[in-house]
Structure 1
């Protein structure tokens, strides 16, 4: 298949995207595909193409459409391009203009189809490949983006933006060594390009070299002292190293010169989580509303009719709440539900929308509450959440996202419950699992969690390689139980073959889908050790003792030495993501002491 046919196939696949999604924006680095399909350079190129069109009668309307794009009048550009296509549906330039106009108005689905048509019809499809690559990257499809960017670079090997964009896509695919090679070559030819130094810093962050990344962010800022993205990204490198105060200063510097509305929205969200990580809860929760900014593509759009609650007295009212963020956050924020029910009082009523797999657990835990499933989809680069099984919306006085209650209910560490057992596992299933675990002998039963399935290239550095668990797994006198969902065969085999350790696999349970039974299993073990993922939050919410591995400046610690959401939790944090041995040694020592104390 020719390269052009491959690109056309990728464009067709991209245009049909509609996927289930988790509405969970995460604060992180900003180093994405750059460029603008409607930049001055791009429009000059389109004007030249319009002047060179073989049919003279098309030249003037094409020029008018391009001028409309330049003026931001995308409706006129759209209308003019469509009129031209009614006359000649093989006019590739009109398709390209239509694609740009619809991209700018957020109609990504039809924009993609227009780009696809332009790609097939225009002889110089390099610029279209660049535009498609940026749109694919924005829609979180880095593999397709990398194909388009690689093609774009063939036509423009010396283009700085092309090198940056390809490196960003490769970074998101965990192909860091290839990204570094692309950037080294580009920096060698363009040593004063701050953009490239910044992206190189983000690649080093990906491979857990946060200290090394500071050198490159510093160089980007030396070259361009008001480079907001470099300030923002340096903030996250400092967070990795435990310097939350330095991170806040850099984040606030970044906000003074944002490159776009989307960048500013991400910076505001990041600042909110840094404030929370510093324990400045009043400021942090107020700023946390930034998670819903319409300028942030990952932020959920709630399709819920009615009046959103904004602090009114709820006694005797009928309230609909949608949980938010990812599944683990749904569980974590649910520790406010007893307080919310108390505010509603005996004459009030609560309807709660949760992830479908959580419905049975929440129905048991809150028997007076109507529990339904929400649905979240990503469509045209946006995330939408609704509750499709709710038919009568008029019965609600208010609706709220559950995080709306954080400022009033969790405004200080003292406001958090002293115990965490607000979710109620099925007692019959807890008894079943306790009986199964008893068959393994008298040793303490330790549940293990070592990864998350929601790992983009940036977040993956916060999870250790499985080999780093060696010291923990070799602790004598403990029986290890697999609680980790997803494909774990390689890790289980490694533990057996390399360490001589059998990690018990609970039979007859789907650790990803059957969350009600997973919760019962978590309640049956003596201790859970691992990283924060959905299962860890379920274990915490039923009161299971837990040792949690977190980043040193994790915002969910809220500036505390412990973990306010689950007070029975002990926290372990690595000093540096590039070296997990010290913190794993601490856990192994603590486990040995616990096992000895249980005898």
Structure 2
């Protein structure tokens, strides 16, 4: 496991790597036995063998690495990281130890450190496909798919064409906007593994993103068989296919995925509710006030409604909202263009409108530039406040913060460096109080946001806006230049290799149009 290590400054290998040392040979045999036991699933036996080596040499790097891997398998992530740090400190030339350290650091959400550990591993052993896969995976996990792509490509070259490598490559191609190349590689994987849940699901997602709705929705149903969505499985019998009429039936529609997708899929609930029946809609607690007001004819329950999983409450029909598309959104023509999803609290909207007027003349523009998830990390998919400079140069605009995590440092940076105030309502919790967030968004004239739930809330209340992406928008996705799910939102994208400045200049032109006409007409009022 540890190759070519030498005692620093001596030119001689350390005792644990010296082939002339009988004890080193015995320890190496124990470590090989430990690896074999671990790979066979016998964690206790593996730990015993690594422990036996450490009893003889507490700083044996391969034994430390083995114990770190065992600790990680047991969910002891902090211990695993510490053991693997000790391993690379003793033998910094071990690419395998660095790669395993990167895995352990991911478990602790130490993503920048995980990237550095995997980069060190790739420097030491650039031809190792597993190390390349690990580095590509960690970069992709922190929304840097463009940087991940060459590592997946190199791993694929090194290993031939294993299915997992082809699927990883195709998925990242889709994330960076190489949709045609992604399709070709998904088809390549499915030719050899037609029943692969991961390949079918991600290929389906690529089809939906390109507006190929009829082909994409059936493939989307593979998601629950993939590891990504395994945690979303419910102890509920899914109804498939749905009957045309629900009359006399009890129906349970349950949520899945994040707030953005929950709202997106909720746009299909009125179509399903038109089939009649007694419908119960499960939703996130944070969305309960909004959706209860928006769907007064439905019975709402907070997620996760375990009474259904336990069989204490029985329904005739049950389906996740993410599965409704195959029934009611199979073509462009099936997407409503004049419907407002969310009914906001009128009193709160009026209160925010009054407060916004005190900020001065001109349109009030909500602003959000990145996801809150690992928001401090550099990302190919999201902009930084420095990237927004073309927006700040537009005269006559009053900016209002919609960034839903702690953005105080970034807002101060905008004020100090660019002389622009992005007004924040500190008494509104944009993360937890989504009813208030929707009311504020409804009171705004326009929204400029990254691809986050801020965009779906704006679309849900029919506030006009731009949603920007770090990848190109496929030609087939928009309908008349607007988001198919939320017609008040205009999606705009760029290639990951391009700087944000070009796209932001295009968005700035949109803001200038907003400024010239004063306010943006609201396409649909609250019912």
The verdict on a shared fold, with TM-score over 0.5 as the criterion, is yes
SS in 2 for 1:432: helix
1:274 maps to which residue? 206
Whole-angstrom distance in 1 between the partners of 2:54 and 2:228: 25
Corresponding residue of 1:501: 420
Query: Which residue of structure 1 aligns with residue 330 of structure 2?
Result: 411
Shift of the 343–500 alpha-carbon distance from structure 1 to 2, 3 Å rule, reads: same
Q: Secondary structure at the match of 1:239?
A: helix
Which residue of 2 is the match for residue 315 of structure 1? 246
Please, which runs of 5 or more residues in structure 2 have no aligned partner? 1-28, 520-527
How far is 1:253 from its partner? 2.9
Distance (whole Å) between structure 1 residues aligned to residue 280 and residue 339 of structure 2: 22
How many angstroms apart in 2 are the aligned matches of 1:232 and 1:206?
Answer: 15
Give the one of 492, 510, 527 matched to 1:572: 492
CA distance 1:196–1:548, change in 2 (3 Å): same
TM-score (norm 1): 0.70
Structure 1 residue 349 corresponds to structure 2 residue 272 = no
Tell me if the contact between 1:430 and 1:523 (Cα under 8 Å) persists in the aligned partners. yes
Structure 1: runs of 5 or more not aligned: 1-43, 51-62, 82-91, 98-114, 376-385
Q: 1: CA distance between counterparts of 2:340 and 2:237?
A: 32
After superposition, residues 196-595 of structure 1 pair within 5 angstroms as 196-202=131-137, 214-255=149-190, 264-293=196-225, 295-296=226-227, 298-305=229-236, 308-316=239-247, 317-344=249-276, 348-375=277-304, 386-387=305-306, 393-455=312-374, 460-553=379-472, 558=477, 561-576=481-496, 579-595=499-515
Q: Shift of residue 218 of structure 1?
A: 3.8
Change (3 A) 1:532 1:387: farther
Offset of residue 235 of structure 1: 2.6
Give the 3-state SS of the residue equivalent to 2:396 in structure 1.
Answer: coil
When residues 584 and 207 of structure 1 are mapped into structure 2, their CA distance, relative to the original with a 3 A threshold, is farther
TM-score normalised per structure 2: 0.79
Deviation at 1:505, TM superposition (A): 1.3
How many Å apart are 1:585 and its aligned residue? Answer: 1.1
Structure-to-structure mapping, 1:105-184, within 5 angstroms = 124=63, 126-133=65-72, 136=75, 146-151=81-86, 153=88, 161-168=96-103, 173-175=111-113, 178-179=116-117, 181-184=119-122
1:7 aligns with none
Whether the 8 Å contact between 1:163 and 1:183 is mirrored in structure 2 is yes
For residues 225-248 of structure 1, give each alpha carbon's deviation from its aligned partner in whole angstroms, at most 9, with x where no partner exists.
214444334334433542201011
Distance 1:574 1:326 in 2: 24
Displacement of 1:552 in angstroms is 2.9
Distance of aligned partners of 1:479 and 1:373 in 2 relative to their CA distance in 1, 3 Å threshold:
same
Q: Check the 8 A contact 1:276/1:559 in 2, yes or no.
A: no
Which structure has more RCO (C-alpha within 8 Å, separation ≥ 6)? 1
Partners of 2:474 and 2:377 lie apart in 1 by: 17
Q: Distance in 1 between matches of 2:292 and 2:105?
A: 44
Change in Cα spacing, 1:592 to 1:257, as seen in structure 2 (3 Å) is same
Of residues 120, 124, 137, the one that matches 1:186 is 124
Q: Residue 585 and residue 119 in structure 1: after superposition, are their counterparts in 2 closer, same or farther (change >3 A)? A: farther
CA shift, 1:203, in A, is 6.0
SS at match of 2:485: coil
1:563–1:249 Cα change, 3 Å: same
- Please state how far the C-alpha of 1:374 moved relative to its aligned partner: 0.5
Equivalenced residues, count? 482
1:261-306 deviation digits (Å, cap 9, x = unpaired): 9xx543332211112122221221101112211x515433444445
**Cα deviation, residue 593, structure 1:** 2.5
User: What is the CA-CA distance between 1:395 and the residue it aligns to?
Assistant: 4.8
Whole-Å separation in 2 of the counterparts to 1:546 and 1:135: 47
**CA shift for structure 1 position 146:** 4.0
Aligned-partner Cα distance in 2 for 1:388–1:479: 48
Contact 2:145 2:176 in 1 (8 A): yes
Determine the C-alpha separation between the residues in 1 that align with 2:354 and 2:490.
27
Question: Match of 1:28?
Answer: none
Q: Deviations over 1:65-116 (max 9, x none)?
A: x79x95xxx8xx8xxx9xxxxxxxxxx649869xxxxxxxxxxxxxxxxx99
